[in-house]
Amino acid sequence: MNMKINPLAEFLELSEEVTDALSCGRPVVALESTIITHGMPFPQNLETAQLVETEVRGSGGIPATIAIMEGRLKVGLSKGQLENLAEQAERAAKASRRDLAVLLAGGGLAGTTVATTMQIAEAAGIGVFATGGIGGVHRGAEDTFDISADLAALGQFGVGVVCAGAKSILDIAKTLEVLETNGVPVLGYRTDDFPAFFARSSGHPVDHRLDSVAEIARVIDVQRRLRLGGVLVANPIPKEDALEAGEIETRITEAILEAERGGVTRKELTPYLLGRIFELTDGQSLVANIALIRNNARVATQIANALCELQ
């Protein structure tokens, strides 16, 4: 999308490195920042962010971590900005699309969700985005109507999103139904099964299996040219890092019941559940989380390289 006609353009602030890479046709991979502000405690959040950026660079790409700082949409954080965001995580907001105007007007500090990162990435001209797992339909949504804005964003913004499926705390069957309603193609990278974040399979099929990054890049390219919105690339957690599906499901159920008893809802729910699951798995979930986001960053960069070759 042309930045000159995008309403976000006046608030965008791309780093010199990202600007140069985009102008030269080099691969750039967008990275979200709620994993820094709301996904992990300090200093693990900083260490993970640095590891993910290193994965992108090691695969031949330029990382563009996205966050909101001082009333600007920052695309590509400096070393100092990344450190500041990680250290100030407790006071940072969690910026979904509904929060953008308030945060920009007030000059707030915020990590960007999948939905907001997609919106900013498209405005900046970045075609590929690596995250851990997307948000989706929460369990019990038939009563709470708790459905992540990520799903609507995937149907609207022309970015290829590489993830390890939907977060295991969600109702994955309903999440896939809403993705279908929003016209989002779900591509399985070397898998027929939609992954469940910590586990390699959710028991639900993907729409299409593709076994090469070149094939995925071609789909993203055509999807963007047709202006049909985003593409979801489901990339399972590596076998050696995956958790046993039955065991993690038991821990998730326990965490959800505790959240219900404590009245934890809406935007506080996901961070609470991920934190509680970390405790219930004796830290194994954090190890798995770091492994899968690094793996997604590698695959996203390979796709970004393939996209550059097409264009």
pLDDT digits (tens, 9 = 90+) for 202-255: 999 999 999 999 999 999 999 999 999 999 999 999 999 998 888 888 888 898
pLDDT at 167: 81
pLDDT at 98: 93
Q: Strand, coil or helix: what is 128? A: strand
pLDDT at 252: 84
Whether the pLDDT of residue 71 is over 60: the answer is: yes
Determine whether 239 is an active site residue.
no
Q: Rounded CA gap, 240 and 263, in Å?
A: 36
The CATH code for residues 3-310 is: 3.40.1790.10
Determine whether 167 is an active site residue.
yes
> Among candidates 102, 107, 124, 131, which has minimal Cα distance to 32?
131
pLDDT winner (highest mean) among 109-123, 252-266, 275-289: 109-123
Q: How large a percentage of the chain has pLDDT more than 70?
A: 98
pLDDT at 187: 98
Q: For the chain, give the mean pLDDT.
A: 93
Q: pLDDT band at residue 61, thresholds of 50, 70 and 90?
A: very high
Q: Which one-letter amino acid corresponds to residue 98?
A: R
pLDDT at 62: 98
Lowest pLDDT segment from 72-76, 173-177, 242-246:
242-246
Q: pLDDT band at residue 311, thresholds of 50, 70 and 90?
A: confident
User: What does the chain come to in residues?
Assistant: 311
Q: Which of 53, 74, 122, 167 is catalytic?
A: 167
Q: pLDDT band at residue 148, thresholds of 50, 70 and 90?
A: very high
Mean pLDDT of 274-300: 90
Whether the pLDDT of residue 4 is over 70: the answer is: no
pTM: 0.92
Mean pLDDT of 89-101: 94
Whether the pLDDT of residue 3 is over 60: the answer is: no
C-alpha of 161 from chain center? 7
Q: Which of 32, 53, 55, 122 is catalytic?
A: 32
pLDDT at 310: 92
Contact between 220 and 264 under an 8 Å Cβ cutoff? The reply is: no
Q: Rounded CA gap, 200 and 190, in Å?
A: 12
Parse the chain into domains and list their residue ranges: 3-310
Lowest pLDDT segment from 30-44, 57-71, 227-241, 262-276:
262-276
Cβ count within 10 A of residue 135? 25
